[in-house]
């Protein structure tokens, strides 16, 4: 099947061709005709399956057709709510790319930055609004946003919304939407809480399910380097010496670990930047832009900060730390090998992480190819004093980050309670 077979209008097809897409992915083939037919859709799809295009392309086609009949100031007709700033920015960029030759206008709003530029954009009128829940509710309460004209609503990454504590915000947003609308609901997993939420949003939805979280893309080659804790740094340098290995998205377990990796890479004259929760939004956006523009060879990220990172034609992902949740591994390596492109994932495994690899292989039902020909092989010896110290230091850092995040979340909730009480 081709995009021409999906009954898309010429401005959309021209933009798709500019982006370089040749054939639609499974979820695009399934979802686009349903959305064009104005059906509500519940989709089970993980990152990297082409999900954004599956809802953005048909929505843009609807809006282009609708807009030709309208005059006057633009009003928000399409709302996409997503859990993280990075994902909101990525979705906003996708709408601009796919809508390049249409007459639609979009903007993105999220917290962590001054609202001035966002409210100015809203004041000029927009058709499509991509938003994180907190900033959306904030600007609604201030009177900058009305949802009364929304015809198309998308809730993206619904399971992450719940994980991050946004359920009450989502219900407040839904309550402000018109009853007559088309709603699309996407989630990587479908636990009971997600299904219950979908019943509040959708009417007689059509179901689309592709690529369960246990599967890794067939286009991704997976390699495993076994080593010892203190040798990981040198093994990473050894791997990055390969001149054929281009830009790398590298995952660290902790924020402090990510910063340390960047410092070590800078000592070796390797351009790198970190992206995590302790960085300001401007720092995170600049790091991501520098990476996309090729000014940084390595982008070091924690799992939460990496949510929504969508980098076209990214080929390499490195797991500096093996995740203890096997589904996280699948999400991580899914950042490369997207939309049919080839990808390579490399995992550096110390002895205490061997069990995590076993769990990953059980989930994916795949054996990860072990690379034995390298200068820093794993040994069965017990940890020495330096390694024990390093392990304990990381443990303390993870504990500090956990409590810092929890206190930050509680503080936000308490501020909201005090505000309501007044």
Torsions phi, psi for 155 (to 5 deg) = -110, 110
Q: How far apart are CA 162 and CA 250, in angstroms?
A: 26
CATH of domain 3-209: 3.40.50.300
Q: How far apart are CA 313 and CA 327, in angstroms?
A: 22
Please state the pTM of the whole predicted model: 0.64
Q: b/e per residue, 77-93, with b = 16+ CB within 10 A?
A: bbbbbbbbbbbbbbbbb
pLDDT of residue 211: 59
CATH 3.40.50.300 residue window(s) in the chain: 3-209, 220-381
Say which CATH superfamily domain 220-381 falls into. Answer: P-loop containing nucleotide triphosphate hydrolases (3.40.50.300)
Specify the long-range contacts of residues 120-125, CB closer than 8 Å, at least 24 apart.
124/74, 125/73, 125/74, 125/75
Contact (Cβ atoms closer than 8 angstroms) between residue 187 and residue 157? yes
pLDDT of residue 406: 57
Q: How far apart are CA 341 and CA 388, in angstroms?
A: 41
pLDDT tens series, the chain, 422 aa: 889 999 999 999 999 999 888 889 889 999 999 999 999 999 887 666 788 999 999 999 999 988 766 667 899 999 999 988 888 988 999 999 999 999 899 999 999 888 999 999 999 999 999 999 999 999 999 999 999 999 999 999 888 888 778 889 999 999 999 999 999 999 877 778 888 889 889 999 999 987 565 666 678 999 999 999 999 999 999 999 998 899 999 999 988 999 999 999 999 999 999 998 788 878 888 998 899 899 999 999 988 666 556 676 789 999 999 998 887 888 888 888 766 678 999 999 999 999 999 999 998 889 999 999 999 999 865 566 776 677 677 667 666 665 665 565 555 445 554 554 45
Tokens 């809508």 sit on residue: 99
Contact (Cβ atoms closer than 8 angstroms) between residue 200 and residue 171? yes
pLDDT of residue 363: 86
pLDDT of residue 21: 86
pLDDT of residue 342: 84
Q: Please report the DSSP string for 280-332 in residue order.
A: -HHHHHHHHHHHHTTS-SEEEE-HHHHTT---TT--EEEESS--SSHHHHHHH
The DSSP H or E segment spanning 405 is helix 385-421
Q: How far apart are CA 273 and CA 79, in angstroms?
A: 32
């Amino acid at each position: 099947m081709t995009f021409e077979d999906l009954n898309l209008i010429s401005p959309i097809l021209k933009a798709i061709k500019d982006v370089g897409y040749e054939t639609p992915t499974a979820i695009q083939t399934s979802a686009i005709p349903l959305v064009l037919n104005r059906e509500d859709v519940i989709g089970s799809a993980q990152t990297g399956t082409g999900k954004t295009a599956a809802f953005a392309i048909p929505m843009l086609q609807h809006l282009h057709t609708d807009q030709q009949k309208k005059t006057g100031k633009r009003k928000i007709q399409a709302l996409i709510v997503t859990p993280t700033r990075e994902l909101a920015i990525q979705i906003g960029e996708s709408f601009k790319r796919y809508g390049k030759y249409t007459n639609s206008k979009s903007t993105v709003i999220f917290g962590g930055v001054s609202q001035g530029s966002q409210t100015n954009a809203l004041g000029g009128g927009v058709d499509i609004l991509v938003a994180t829940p907190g900033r959306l509710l904030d600007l609604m309460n201030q009177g900058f946003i009305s949802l009364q004209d929304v015809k198309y609503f998308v809730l993206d990454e619904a399971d992450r919304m719940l994980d991050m504590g946004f359920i009450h915000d989502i219900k407040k947003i839904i309550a402000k939407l018109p009853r007559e609308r088309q709603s699309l609901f996407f989630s990587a997993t479908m636990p009971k809480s997600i299904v219950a939420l979908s019943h509040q949003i959708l009417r007689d939805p059509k179901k689309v399910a592709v690529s369960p979280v246990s599967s890794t893309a067939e286009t991704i080659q997976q390699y495993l380097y076994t080593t010892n804790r203190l040798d990981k740094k040198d093994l990473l340098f050894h791997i990055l010496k390969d001149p054929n290995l281009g830009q790398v998205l590298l995952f660290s377990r902790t924020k402090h670990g990510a910063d340390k990796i960047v410092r070590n890479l800078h000592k070796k004259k390797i351009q790198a930047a970190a992206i995590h929760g302790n960085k300001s939004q401007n720092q995170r956006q600049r790091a991501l832009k520098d990476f996309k523009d090729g000014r940084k060879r390595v982008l070091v990220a924690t799992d939460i900060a990496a949510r929504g990172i969508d980098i076209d034609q990214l080929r390499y992902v490195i797991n500096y730390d093996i995740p203890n949740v096997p589904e996280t591994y699948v999400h991580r390596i899914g950042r490369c090998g997207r939309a049919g492109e080839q990808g390579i994932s490399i995992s550096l495994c110390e002895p205490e992480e061997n069990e995590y690899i076993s769990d990953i292989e059980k989930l994916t039902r795949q054996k990860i190819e072990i690379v034995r020909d390298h200068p820093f092989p794993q040994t069965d010896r017990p940890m020495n004093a330096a390694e024990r110290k390093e392990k304990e230091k990381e443990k303390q850092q993870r504990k500090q980050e956990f409590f810092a995040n929890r206190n930050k979340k509680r503080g936000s909730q308490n501020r909201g309670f005090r505000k309501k009480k007044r």
